[in-house]
Amino acid sequence: MIRAAIAGALVALVAACAPAAAHPSDEKTVVIEVRNSHFSLAALDVKAGDTVRFVVHNLDPIDHEFILGDDDVHRRHAEGVERVHHGDVSGEVSVAPRMEVSTVYLFDSPGQLLFACHLPGHFQYGMSGVVTVR
C-alpha cells in the first residue's frame, strides 16, 4: 500500500515536470480586417508547427473570402472550380458583409503561402497577402 502511494506520487511528480503538450490554447490569433476590398495585413511570419486562428472582420458592404494555401489551392479558386461558400476547409472561409468569421490553420512546413480573395476582380484589385513559414 505504501509502495502504491509512493509510485502514485512519483508518477504525479514526473507528469508535473514534463513539458506541456500542445493545446488549443497554444494557438496564436491573428486579426485581419477587410476594408475597401483590401486586407489590413499584407505579410505574416510564422514558425513551422504554429497553429494560427485567423479572425477576419469584413467591414465592407460586400462579400469577401479568405483563402489560405499553396499555388494549387489558389489556382482552383481562381478558376472557379471550388464552391462559392467556404467554411468547411481549414484556411478557407467566406465573409459576409459586416460579419466576422474565423478559421484555424496549422503551418506544418517551411515555405510561403498566399492568402487571397478570389471573388471576381478582388484578387486583381490587390486583395492578397503572404505568410512566410520559417
The pLDDT value recorded for residue 82 is 64
Per-residue confidence band for 26, with pLDDT thresholds at 50, 70 and 90: confident
Helices (H), strands (E): how many in the chain?
2, 9
DSSP 3-state assignment of 35? strand
Sign of CA dihedral 115, 56, 101, 107: positive
The pLDDT value recorded for residue 80 is 78
How many Cα atoms within 13 Å fall on the side-chain side of residue 11?
6
Q: What is the pLDDT of residues 89-129, one digit of tens each?
A: 999 999 999 999 999 999 999 999 999 999 999 999 999 99
Q: What is the pLDDT of residues 55-66, one digit of tens each?
A: 999 999 999 999
Which CATH fold topology does 22-133 show?
A: Immunoglobulin-like (2.60.40)
Residue whose grid cell is 513539458: 19
Cell triple for 122: 478582388
Name the residue ranges covered by the structural domains of the chain: 22-133
Q: What is the pLDDT of residues 67-95, one digit of tens each?
A: 999 999 999 898 876 656 787 899 999 99
Model pTM score: 0.78
